[in-house]
Amino acid sequence: MDPKPSVKAEKVKSEAGLKKIAVSPNNNVVTIYEKKGKEWVKIHELTEHSGRITGIDWAPESNRIVTCASDRNAYVWTLKDGVWKPTLVLVRINRAATCVKWSPLENKFALGSGARLIAVCYFEKENDWWLSKHIKKPICSTVLSLDWHPNNVLLAAGSADFHCRVFSAYIKDIEDKPGPTAWGAKMPFGEVLLEHKDCGGWVHSVSFSHSGDQLAWVAHNSSITVVDAAQGKEVTQLTTDHLPLLSVLYVSPTEIVAAGHDCCPYQFTYKGPGTLEFVKKLDIPKQTSKGSMSAMQHFRNLDKKATEEDINEQDTLHQNSITQLCVVSGGKAKVEKYSSVGLDGAMVIWDFKH
């Protein structure tokens, strides 16, 4: 069974400046578009997967794309002579892959799955393939979300067992021994540096701050939480009156953007333990009126929704749940633009005003 059948209908990751995007609209094909003037033109299709694609990440420096899917496979795509060529990853999982994320140095990536494990994958030059090492304990259910610490070693994971964890993903074959952080000093592969047990629901998304000392996550009970490693790993949780949030993103040292089933992004601020607060809704309401709708459109909507109520458009730019937020320009220290994609098949680019 697909652990999130309706959430990740579209995935997107951008190159710097958002000149190209890679999307998969709920099928087994990745389509790459390039912006030419005001139009987006299809330039490539990646067709190696046999199952629905559940994760895409585009590495901006190395220009490699990693994809994963419900077919239990992952591929690293490299552009050679104008053609994207796949390299198979030896993931070794017996359930669907659910999410994938390049590390900051782009020398490895992490892949979550329904097999109750995280595969940390790295390139082995001798055999010219990607190998994986598994983090299994103490994960008890599907891994739904991942994010890397800025030090390229620590890895945050949210899962369907209502837990949020921080692991060490240090691979001695490819990197130097890491120094101590606020999360801990000993970092053998798979070491658990944080395990928050009651997140209130499935943990849909996780995001480290720019410094890596704070970690934010959103769960299915409509809550947003920040754990502060610089303050003894103190946890601050805010349960909102919104529908559940599905994606969270640090956009400055104190500001966080989250979005989900309410179809619009929200801004939160965190300035220390106990200070997590809602700031504002980040959207421009659409001006719609039932009277301006044609009779044909009215009956089409009625046929789709089966009731008279709520057949008008949402008063938000997105017309369905937002499933993913991505940085477009700037870094987590000061994000200038970020993108959102949703189940309405739309991508929106937002300016963040600091």
Domains, the chain, ordered by start? 12-284 (2.130.10.10)
Q: What is the pLDDT of residue 294?
A: 58
d(CA 195, CA 139): 10
Q: How confident is the model at residue 302, as a pLDDT? A: 62
* CB-based contact 140:148 (threshold 8 Å): no
How confident is the prediction along the chain (354 residues), in pLDDT tens digits per residue?
A: 333 333 333 445 544 456 899 999 889 999 999 999 889 999 999 999 999 999 999 999 999 999 999 999 999 999 999 999 999 899 999 999 999 999 999 999 999 999 999 999 999 988 888 999 999 999 999 999 999 999 999 999 999 999 999 999 999 999 999 999 999 999 999 999 999 998 999 999 999 999 999 999 999 999 999 999 999 999 999 999 999 999 999 999 999 999 999 999 999 999 999 999 999 999 976 554 444 455 666 666 666 655 555 545 678 999 999 999 999 999 899 999 999 999 999 999 999 988
Which positions ≥6 away from 141 have C-beta within 8 Å?
A: 116, 159, 160, 161
Match 């669907």 to its residue by tokens: 96
pLDDT of res. 297 = 65
CA distances from 261 to 222, 265, 289, 342 (A): 10, 10, 22, 9
Question: What distance in Å separates the CA atoms of residue 83 and residue 232, rounded to the nearest whole number?
Answer: 49
Give residue 41's pLDDT: 95
**Cα dihedral sign for 57, 167, 213, 236?**
positive
The residue among 133, 206, 135 whose CA lies nearest residue 164 is: 206
